[in-house]
Amino acid sequence: MRRRRWRTLLLGVVLPLVLTAGAVGGLYWLREWDRHPAADSGRPGSWVTVGSEEVAAFARVRVPGSAGELRWAYRKGLQDDVAFLSFRLPPGGEQGFLNGLGIPLTPDAGTDLGSGVLEGFRQAGAPDPRAAGALRHGSVVADALPGHNKRLAESAWLAEEADGGTRVWVHAMDAP
C-alpha cells in the first residue's frame, strides 16, 4: 500500500512538474535562439561575414583609397538588410568624399542615433559616434537600382578630428 502511494505521488505530481519545467526551459531556449541567431547562419537577424567592398557597394558609398581604420558589419534581415561602415579620412579628404556621397549634411546633429544603429557600429568595431563631439548628419532615401525592387535608406554622420581629419559613420538599409 505504501509503495502504491509513492508511485501515485511520483506519477501524479513530480513527473508533471519535471515535464513542465523541461518544456518551459526548452521554449525559453528556442526563443533566445530565434532572437539571437548565430553569426553567418543566414537566418534573419544574423550578422553575416562579407567583405568591405560588398558592404560599401550595398551602401552605395565609395570609400576613398586614402581612408584608414575601415570597419564594417552587415546584418541579414527578414525583409531588410542593414550595412554599417566607419572609416577615417585624412586631413583634406573630406570634400572629395562628400562630393561623391550626395547627402546634404546638417551641423549639430546631436547624438541620438538609436540603439540599433549604435549596435551595428559596435558590431563593426567602430568608435562610438556619441563620443566624437559635434556631429554633422544627413539622410537620404535613394531610388531602387535597375533590377532591384527596393530603395536604399542611408544615413551618414561625420565628425572632425583634432588633426583635421574626419571620422565617417554610414548606416544603410534597403527599404521597400
Q: What is the pLDDT of residue 40?
A: 46
Q: What is the pLDDT of residue 101?
A: 79
Contact 39, 49 (CB under 8 A): yes
Half-sphere exposure of residue 20: CA atoms within 13 angstroms, side-chain side = 6
Q: pLDDT tens string for the chain (176 positions)? A: 577 777 776 667 666 766 676 666 655 555 554 445 455 445 456 677 788 888 888 888 888 888 889 999 988 777 778 899 999 999 988 888 888 877 777 777 666 777 788 888 898 899 988 888 788 888 877 776 666 667 778 888 888 888 888 999 999 888 76
Alpha-carbon distances of 81 from 59, 74, 76, 175, rounded to whole Å: 10, 7, 5, 9
Alpha-carbon distances of 105 from 69, 97, 138, 139, 144, rounded to whole Å: 22, 12, 4, 8, 22
Return all residues near 93 (Cβ < 8 A) that are at least 6 apart.
64, 66, 67, 165, 166
Q: What is the pLDDT of residue 86?
A: 92
Q: Using a cut of 0.75, tell me whether the model's pTM lies above it.
A: no
Domain ranges of the chain: 1-36, 52-175
CA-CA distance, 137 to 50, in Å (whole number)? 26
